[in-house]
Amino acid sequence: SEPSKSVGMAVDEDLLRHELSGMPPREFKVYPARWITLILFGMASLMNAVIWITFAPINSITGNFYDVNDTAVNMLSVVYMIVYIPGTYLSSFLFWRVGLRWTILAANILNVLGATLRLASVKNNMEQNINGYVLLLIGQTLCGLGQPIYVNGSARIAATWFTVEGRDIATVIASMFNPVGTGVGQILPALLVNSSGEGMLYLFLTELIAFGAILVLSFAFLQDMPPTPPSFTETTRQASRQVSNINLPPEHTESMLNEFKNDLNIPALALPRMLTLGGPRSGGSPCTCSDLKMLFSHPPFVKLCIGFGLGLAYFNTLVTVLGRQTEILGYSDDDAGLFGALILGFGLLGCAVAGPVMDCTHRYKTVLKIAATLALASVLGLVFALRPNNTVALCIVFSAQGFLLLPLLPTAFECMVECTYPMPEEVTNGTMLSIGNVLSIGTTFLWQYLINQNGDGYKGMFVPYNYLQVGMMFLALIFIYSFDGKYHRLEMDIVNSALQPHGSDRKSTTLSPERINDADC
């Protein structure tokens, strides 16, 4: 009979133990190339974020240089959010059809082309041949199409190359290159561009050279996947992908999956999970409309999408309008660059704490809810601190916001992958991030409008844009607290791991059924 199509099917643990006990034990290897792949992916993600946020700390300078208003300057950031949805499903298709290596290379090529147009925009603007802003916006759009590949691909890199014991930290590392790039993008423009706009050419040239070097290194050293899968769940996923890329009649699907079962030591209980992906698809598409409908009928998926989406919208909007929000209170572009760098610098520190905690305990929901609660407290602190001549307090509050907000990204990634397993990581995380970016478009323009309506100078704490930021994080917290997804991927790996030999040549797993039960409380 046709397998039931539901997200995150529960594991019959006793049956899975019985099946695995009759199979030859298998051990999962990792390869040194995983670190090269992670670093090349991360550096490309970093530079993509630099290009995204370049204009936030030099908002007024950019407007004067290209002779456009604040809204047009903000559009250079917002365009990333606009193209995120088509970019997400482009990235899902590429990951599924051409694999990890060529998908990342495609994103790198898009970024080099976009960076080239950005550089050309300066020359054309200075020579007044055509409107340089148009070329600049087109360049930003091309770079924006590549962003979903980097952001959505973090969990895919970790699952493809790292074992159960290492994939949480790998997800944190991969996802944190992008925020590091945002920090670099807050500092670099202020160092290279002066108040009259001189240095814009050198800024764009520096970014183009950096991305060109990453593209060359990626062509030379980036690999698609390791010779053997690093985990039990990755083994089943790769088998499912091979079946889905072959156009078979439905009646032949199960027989082919059974061949994979025998060749790869996959228990029969895993077959319905692989078929949950929808079985073989025309053209090897990673996701169909029925799959998306299934996802949006899954309450934990919807709750996490809305809760994390509101948090992401808050963060994207904050770093986009940070320069203007602090300018009206008398702070300089250099101050805005410092505040942005503190958000990202302490965000990395927060992830350095959250990553090992998740890797050791796998308590993703607990980490997510604690960080979200404290993040709301930091937003309230920002409301009190946003006033003139209060640089030290603002530095402290922005540092706290970074420390608490950024760990939400990899933690939400892991929660989403677990509760929707075996759906592809780039589809579920990409959909969640797309919702956040759609919300970011509206909140960025609304926040900018409220700031401009408020006018220059300090008008007190109880102003409309403060109500907006507190309301966003409060709603986010409500949905995150209601999230009750299960850890389906870990359940599969746990039972398989428990029945494998733990000899001296094999690292003992840190997973246990009891830990999962504790995490689900």
Structure tokens at 250: 């439905």
Model confidence at 278: pLDDT above 80: no
> How many structural domains are present in the chain?
1
Model confidence at 423: pLDDT above 80: no
Residue 204 CB coordination number (10 Å): 25
- CB distance 385 to 331 below 8 Å: no
Rounded distance between C-alpha atoms, residue 420 and residue 295, angstroms: 8
Rounded distance between C-alpha atoms, residue 305 and residue 298, angstroms: 11
pLDDT at 198: 84
Q: Taking residues 142-161, what's their average pLDDT?
A: 88
pLDDT at 265: 47
Handedness of CA 334, 336, 338, 341 (dihedral sign): negative
271 vs 79, more confident: 79
- Could you tell me if residue 28 is inside a domain? no
pLDDT at 154: 84
- The per-residue pLDDT for range 471-500, each reduced to its tens digit, is 999 999 999 999 988 887 777 776 665 545
- Torsion, Cα 481 486 487 489, to 10 degrees, reads -140
Grade residue 125 by pLDDT with cuts at 50, 70 and 90: low
Model confidence at 21: pLDDT above 70: no
Model confidence at 345: pLDDT above 50: yes
Q: Taking residues 38-51, what's their average pLDDT?
A: 93
- CB distance 381 to 397 below 8 Å: yes
Q: Taking residues 239-252, what's their average pLDDT?
A: 54
pLDDT at 277: 42
Highest mean pLDDT among 66-80, 250-264, 377-391: 377-391
CATH of the domain at 436: 1.20.1250.20
- Could you tell me if residue 520 is inside a domain? no
- The per-residue pLDDT for range 448-459, each reduced to its tens digit, is 889 888 877 788
- Could you tell me if residue 213 is inside a domain? yes
Handedness of CA 493, 498, 504, 509 (dihedral sign): positive
Secondary structure (3-state) at 67: coil
299 vs 275, more confident: 299
- Could you tell me if residue 341 is inside a domain? yes
- Could you tell me if residue 63 is inside a domain? yes
- Could you tell me if residue 502 is inside a domain? no
Q: Crossing angle of helices 425-454/154-161, nearest 10°? A: 150
Q: Which domain holds residue 330?
A: 33-227+293-489
pLDDT at 368: 92
Grade residue 332 by pLDDT with cuts at 50, 70 and 90: confident
- CB distance 200 to 193 below 8 Å: yes
Q: Taking residues 386-403, what's their average pLDDT?
A: 92
- CB distance 343 to 397 below 8 Å: no
pLDDT at 503: 42
- Torsion, Cα 254 255 256 257, to 10 degrees, reads 50
Grade residue 398 by pLDDT with cuts at 50, 70 and 90: very high
Q: Taking residues 87-99, what's their average pLDDT?
A: 83
Q: Which string of DSSP letters, residue by residue, matches 406-438?
A: TTHHHHHHHHHHHHHTTS-HHHHHHHHHHHHHH
Residue 27 CB coordination number (10 Å): 11
pLDDT at 178: 85
Give the per-residue SS3 of 97-139.
HHHHHHHHHHHHHHHHHHHHHHHHHHHHHHHCCCCHHHHHHHH
- Could you tell me if residue 507 is inside a domain? no
Mean residue pLDDT of the chain comes to 79
- The per-residue pLDDT for range 157-211, each reduced to its tens digit, is 888 888 877 888 888 888 888 888 887 887 888 888 887 778 889 999 999 999 9
333 vs 119, more confident: 119
Structure tokens at 225: 């996947």
pLDDT at 505: 39
Residue 350 CA from chain centroid, whole number: 16
Query: Greatest CA separation found in the chain?
Result: 75
- Could you tell me if residue 411 is inside a domain? yes
Q: Which string of DSSP letters, residue by residue, matches 432-459?
A: HHHHHHHHHHHHHHHHHHHHHHH-SS--
